[in-house]
Each structure stands twice: as structure tokens, then as C-alpha cells.
């Protein structure tokens, strides 16, 4: 009796095994497609081969990058794909070419375009940007630099537990996308690295940036024209230039920014905390329904700032007023220390004054005394405890 019973169990187990392997997604290991984990051999073709197979699969597919360092040139992962469930699981590090000229004139290093349902899980991207930053600082003619990772015109994207180091330019760009979740992202670059924004979002809707830590030389998060329904929560920023809506209003015809929530963020030693910034020149742009809530400022130069007179190098804008209309912006539960006297600055457009600005439960100190507030063309109200005293009218 014992023998037939155990054969039956064995049979059942094999049936289970076969069916489960049939339904689990196909996996393409880049090493089995020729990638080398030595940090020196160009593995671009192996990654592209893994993409071609995954994108062409009619079932869910996984690209697997094991531990080690993989040298990659510029790579474009393009859709449309035959499935909408591709996972890129990375245990190792992707390294850009050590000579910054190789990708320095490309817009981006790693780009996903026209894809739907792509998730990146884990991994480190090393942009090796320090050489280019040095070049830029010495005023020599240098390439402008590549964004490390860009998702362009894509939907239903997850970026989970990814680390981006020392990008040449922006670290991560979300452009023209719908429904993107970036969580547990770590960005790290020197506080004086030029134009190395952590995460830049533009022309996108339904983007969430959660539980992330961003230290870099420019904005931790920058929010460009055409961004709607953006949610940022539980982010630590510093060093860097803070979380910024803008720059807006560079173009005459420009999409607005609407419905942005920035919640539970800590700024440490940053140039700005929460900011809205527009060029001082005509534009159809706008920013409305913006909530900055539960922020802690640790020694931040400009903790709360609206600047509508941005005019770098005083070119093409002197004497002009910003066309960008800023309205319905709430600053709620914002506490901490300012590194300058003026902790709250609203420098709005003379032609399109800010309206519906709300300060609620704000306490900012400078050298253990109340910080100051400065207002220009700013209309709104204050409630709860507000220090510095509101200058809104
Ligand atoms: C605002 O954006 C959030 C996501 O960040 C979304 O859940 C909410 O529905 C949006 N509100 C409106 C009025 O569109």
C-alpha cells in the first residue's frame, strides 16, 4: 500500500512543479545573453537582447541583472511591447562609460520610451559624473551631460528601491507619463554638483514619489510644466535645492501645474525648502492647488519661497512680469530653522499677483529668534500659529 501512495504523491508534486513553472514569467538573465559583470566589458548589446526578448514576449517577462558591475553605453528600451508586465530585477550596478564624452551629448543614458507596465526593482545606477562636473566648473567647453534614467511617454511604471549615484545631469526624469510610482529611491551626488536634479517630473499625471532619500547638487525634486496629480510623501532632501515647482513660464505657450501634494518631507542644509519658481516673462503657464504639508526645515536658506522674477543672466526678461498665475497654495505645519533672516518669501508677479496663499501652523526661527517674512503682490490668509507674522494681504 505504501508504494503506490508515494508514487501518487510524486506524480502530484511533478504536476504542480510543471504547472507553476509554466505560469511563472520567463526570465532573461543578461549574463546568459553575454553581459560581463567586470565593470569593463561593454554589456549594452546583452541588455538590448534581453529587452528585445522581454518586449516581444506575449507573457509577463523578467530581465535579471545579477550582482557585479555592468558597463553600459547609451541604451534605449523602446515599446510598444507585446505584453504590459516587464520587470527589470537588478542585484548589481549599471555603470556608465568613465569617459563622460561617450554619453555626455546624449539627452539620457538609460531611457524607456513608449512602454506600459514596466517595473524596475532594486539596483544601482552609477553615472560617473564627477569628471563632467569638474569640467563644467573650470568653464571649459564640456558636453551638457546625460540624464541617468528617463521614462518617456510611458504608463504604469514602478521604480522600486533603486539607487542613482553621481549622475552627469538629472538623475531620474519622468516625462509624458501616466501612473508612475517611485518608492524607496535613493539619489546621491555631491552638494555642489551642477544640474544634478534628483527626480524631475514634467507633462505627467498620477506620479507618486514615496519613502525616498535625495541628496544632490540641484533640486531634490523639480516639477515642470504639465504636471498634474503629483503626490510626494516621506522624502528626505539634502544637500540640494529643495522641492521646487518650476521653473515655470519659460515658454510663452505652456501647460500648467495642478494638484500637487508634498507631504512629510525633511530638508537638511538645503538652499530652499518648498518653492515655486517662474521666469519673469509672458507665459500662459500656471500653478494651482498645491499643498505643502508637514515639513521640517533644518538650517534651510529659504524655507518657504515663491519667486516669480527668475531671470538668469538677465537675458530676455528684464523689466517684464511673469505671466504665470499662482493660486491656491497652502503651507501647513511647517517647522524648523532658517539659515537666513527671511524664512518666508513671496515675490509674486506684478501682473498676475499670487492669490489664495494660505499659511497654517508655521514656525520658522533664525538664530533662535522669529524669522522674517517678505511679500510682494501676494494675496491670502494665515491661520493657527504663524511665525514669522504673515505679510499676506
Ligand atoms: C489629485 O491628485 C491625487 C493624486 O496625487 C488624486 O488622488 C486626486 O484624485 C486628484 N484630485 C483631483 C481633484 O483631481
Domain shared by 257 and 343, yes or no? yes
Cβ 179 under 6 angstroms from ligand 1: no
Final residue before a domain boundary, out of 139, 169, 189: 189
Domain shared by 291 and 359, yes or no? yes
Residue 140 pLDDT class (50, 70, 90 cuts): confident
Report if residue 198 sits inside a domain.
no
What single string gives the DSSP state of each residue in 33-94? GT--TEEEEE-HHHHHHHHHHHHH-SS-EEEEE-SSEEE---EEEE---S-S-EEEEESSEE
Residue 7 pLDDT class (50, 70, 90 cuts): low
Domain shared by 290 and 354, yes or no? yes
Domain shared by 180 and 234, yes or no? no
Domain shared by 226 and 181, yes or no? no
Alpha-carbon torsion angle 109, 178, 266, 291, nearest 10: 140
In 3D, which of 204, 134, 143 has the Cα closest to residue 172? 204
Domain shared by 153 and 249, yes or no? no
Catalytic residue, from 171, 200, 241, 377: name it. 241
What CATH number does residue 73 fall under? Answer: 2.160.20.10
pLDDT in tens, 319-337: 899 999 999 999 999 999 9
Q: What is the 3-state secondary structure (H, E, C) of 32-46?
A: HHCCCCEEEEECHHH
Report if residue 16 sits inside a domain.
no
Report if residue 212 sits inside a domain.
no
Domain shared by 235 and 96, yes or no? no
Final residue before a domain boundary, out of 146, 168, 189: 189
Q: Is the pLDDT of residue 23 over 80?
A: no
Cβ 52 under 6 angstroms from ligand 1: no
Q: Is the dihedral of CA 238, 240, 241, 247 positive or negative?
A: negative
How many domains is the chain partitioned into structurally?
A: 2
Domain shared by 77 and 132, yes or no? yes
Domain span at residue 151 reads 24-189
Cβ 289 under 6 angstroms from ligand 1: no
pTM metric for this prediction: 0.94
> What is the distance in A from the centroid of ligand 1 to the CA of 207?
10
> What is the distance in A from the centroid of ligand 1 to the CA of 263?
14
Report if residue 7 sits inside a domain.
no
Cβ 210 under 6 angstroms from ligand 1: no
Domain shared by 364 and 235, yes or no? yes
Cβ 233 under 6 angstroms from ligand 1: no
Largest CA distance in the chain: 97
Which amino acid residue places its CA nearest to atom 13 of ligand 1?
Answer: 259
Report if residue 3 sits inside a domain.
no
Cβ 374 under 6 angstroms from ligand 1: no
> What is the distance in A from the centroid of ligand 1 to the CA of 229?
5
Domain shared by 284 and 322, yes or no? yes
Query: Is 218 marked active-site?
Result: yes
Cβ 261 under 6 angstroms from ligand 1: yes
Ligand 1, residue 229: give the atom nearest the CA. Answer: 2
Domain shared by 178 and 227, yes or no? no
Which amino acid residue places its CA nearest to atom 1 of ligand 1?
Answer: 229
pLDDT in tens, 55-80: 999 999 999 999 999 999 999 999 99
Domain shared by 223 and 130, yes or no? no
Q: Is the pLDDT of residue 19 over 60?
A: no
Query: Is 241 marked active-site?
Result: yes
**Contact predicate 259/228, CB 8 Å:** yes
Which amino acid residue places its CA nearest to atom 6 of ligand 1?
Answer: 229
Report if residue 56 sits inside a domain.
yes
Report if residue 200 sits inside a domain.
no
Report if residue 47 sits inside a domain.
yes
Amino acid at each position: 500500500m505504501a508504494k503506490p501512495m508515494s508514487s501518487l504523491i510524486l506524480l502530484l508534486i511533478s504536476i504542480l512543479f510543471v504547472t507553476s513553472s509554466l505560469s511563472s514569467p520567463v526570465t532573461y538573465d543578461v549574463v546568459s545573453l553575454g553581459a560581463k559583470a567586470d565593470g569593463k566589458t561593454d554589456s549594452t548589446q546583452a541588455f538590448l537582447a534581453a529587452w528585445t526578448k522581454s518586449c516581444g514576449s506575449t507573457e509577463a517577462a523578467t530581465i535579471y541583472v545579477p550582482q557585479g558591475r555592468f558597463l553600459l553605453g547609451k541604451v534605449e528600451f523602446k515599446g510598444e511591447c507585446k505584453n504590459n508586465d516587464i520587470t527589470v530585477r537588478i542585484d548589481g550596478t549599471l555603470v556608465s562609460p568613465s569617459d563622460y564624452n561617450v554619453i555626455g551629448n546624449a539627452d539620457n543614458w538609460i531611457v524607456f520610451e513608449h512602454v506600459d507596465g514596466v517595473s524596475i526593482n532594486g539596483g544601482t545606477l552609477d553615472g560617473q559624473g564627477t569628471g563632467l562636473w569638474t569640467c563644467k566648473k573650470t568653464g571649459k567647453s564640456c558636453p551638457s551631460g546625460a540624464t541617468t534614467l528617463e521614462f518617456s511617454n510611458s504608463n504604469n511604471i514602478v521604480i522600486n528601491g533603486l539607487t542613482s549615484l553621481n549622475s552627469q545631469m538629472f538623475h531620474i526624469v519622468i516625462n509624458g507619463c501616466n501612473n508612475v510610482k517611485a518608492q524607496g529611491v535613493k539619489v546621491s551626488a555631491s552638494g555642489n554638483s551642477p544640474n544634478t536634479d534628483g527626480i524631475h517630473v514634467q507633462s505627467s499625471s498620477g506620479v507618486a514619489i514615496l519613502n525616498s532619500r535625495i541628496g544632490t547638487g540641484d533640486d531634490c525634486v523639480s516639477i515642470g510644466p504639465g504636471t498634474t496629480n503629483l503626490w510626494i510623501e516621506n522624502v528626505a532632501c539634502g544637500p540640494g535645492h529643495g522641492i521646487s515647482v518650476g521653473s515655470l513660464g519659460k515658454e510663452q505657450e505652456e501647460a500648467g501645474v495642478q494638484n500637487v501634494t508634498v507631504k512629510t518631507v525633511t530638508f537638511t542644509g538645503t538652499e530652499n525648502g518648498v518653492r515655486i519658481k517662474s521666469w519673469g516673462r509672458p507665459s500662459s503657464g500656471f500653478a494651482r492647488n498645491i499643498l505643502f504639508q508637514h515639513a521640517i526645515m533644518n538650517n534651510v536658506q529659504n524655507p518657504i519661497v515663491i519667486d516669480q522674477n527668475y531671470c538668469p543672466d538677465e537675458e530676455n526678461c528684464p523689466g517684464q512680469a511673469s505671466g504665470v498665475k499662482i493660486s491656491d497654495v497652502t503651507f501647513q505645519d511647517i517647522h524648523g530653522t532658517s539659515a537666513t533672516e527671511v524664512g518666508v518669501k513671496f515675490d509674486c508677479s506684478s501682473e498676475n499677483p499670487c492669490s489664495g496663499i494660505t499659511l497654517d501652523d508655521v514656525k520658522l526661527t533664525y538664530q533662535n529668534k522669529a524669522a522674517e517674512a517678505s511679500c510682494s503682490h501676494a494675496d491670502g490668509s494665515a491661520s493657527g500659529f504663524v511665525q514669522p507674522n504673515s505679510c499676506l494681504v
